[in-house]
Amino acid sequence: MPILKRLAETARAPVAFTLDGAPVQALMGDTVLTAVLTHIDHVRRSEFSGGARAGFCMMGACQDCWMLLEEGGRVRACSTFIEPGMRLLSQWPAAWRTGQPTATAAAPAADVEAGS
């Protein structure tokens, strides 16, 4: 269940992206955080407790909104703008958790900062 509902700026151009393997849409100019939370209630699962995390500081300082990229790496959801074709994951794939990445799910290699 999404935790954000868009009330304004609904006329911006749509941006298609993938969230946990499902095709979804955001609007041009949305951060990854906004794009994701208009579809589900979290951006990732805590690596310690497994609890849902949806960011905390909303300015890129707390590290609580890291989101995985399907091709490896991660982005800060609060300070990275959604891009067409972005493929995001809200939890580590099972192969990554077991330490045995597959050809289609390589373990994250590097972090990507907003604007990089």
pLDDT of residue 49: 85
**Residue 114 domain flag:** no
CA separation, residue 10 to residues 18, 30, 50, 86 (Å): 20, 11, 33, 20
Number of domains in the chain: 1
Asked whether 70 and 88 are in contact (CB, 8 A), the reply is: yes
Domain membership of residue 37 as a residue range: 20-90
pLDDT tier at 116 (50, 70, 90 boundaries)?
very low
**Residue 62 domain flag:** yes
- Mean pLDDT score, 108-113: 52
Higher-confidence position of 51 and 86: 86
Q: Residue 63 belongs to a domain with what CATH number?
A: 3.10.20.30
pLDDT tier at 99 (50, 70, 90 boundaries)?
low
pLDDT of residue 97: 55
Q: pLDDT tens-digit profile of 48-76?
A: 888 888 888 878 888 889 999 999 899 99
**Residue 55 domain flag:** yes
